[in-house]
Structures are given as structure tokens and as C-alpha cells.
A = this chain, B = another copy of it.
Amino acid sequence: MDMASIIGYIAGALTTIAFVPQVIKIWKTKSTKDISLTMFIVFCFGIFLWMIYGIMLHSFPVIIANATGLVLGLLIIIFKIKYK
């Protein structure tokens, strides 16, 4: 694998797993007051399109990274609605 691809994979992994600490934080505090619902709705819609893009390009890493990101993003949206 070339250097650019390795950096791309690490970048994709980081921008996806980044949402895990936010999910854990909300899970523990049950508080989402400072989180922007608009941010996560727009972000999830964007991630969904990235997933479609990955499907069209038959790129498994793009599909899996964005599918995971979408689950985490939707979880934050559900938390945001549940814990007002």
C-alpha cells in the first residue's frame, strides 16, 4: 500500500472513532444542552452521502468508515432528542 493510502486509512479511522468519546460522554452525563442538533443532522446527511459515494465507487473502506460514523452520529442525534 502506498504512503498516501496509509495516511487516508488512518485519517478515516480517526475522523470516525472521534465520535466514540462524545457518545460515551453523553451516555454518562445524560446531558446534551451544548451540542448542536443542526450540526449532527447536517453531518449525518453528509456521512450518508459519503457512504453512497463509497458504494458507487465500490470502495469498502469508505463504506465501512461512513457506515460506522453514521451509526455514531445517529446515536448522538437520538441522545440529543432524548436528553434535552
Contacts and interface: CB of A to CB of B under 8 A. Distances in A.
Residue among A3, A11, A24, A32 with max Cβ neighbours from chain B (10 Å): A11
Interface string A17-53: 1111110111001011111101110110111011011
A14 interface: yes
A10 interface: yes
B36 A34 contact: no
A45 B14 CA distance: 7
Nearest to A35: B34
Interface of A: 3-4, 7-8, 10-22, 24-26, 29, 31-36, 38-40, 42-43, 45-47, 49-50, 52-53, 56-57
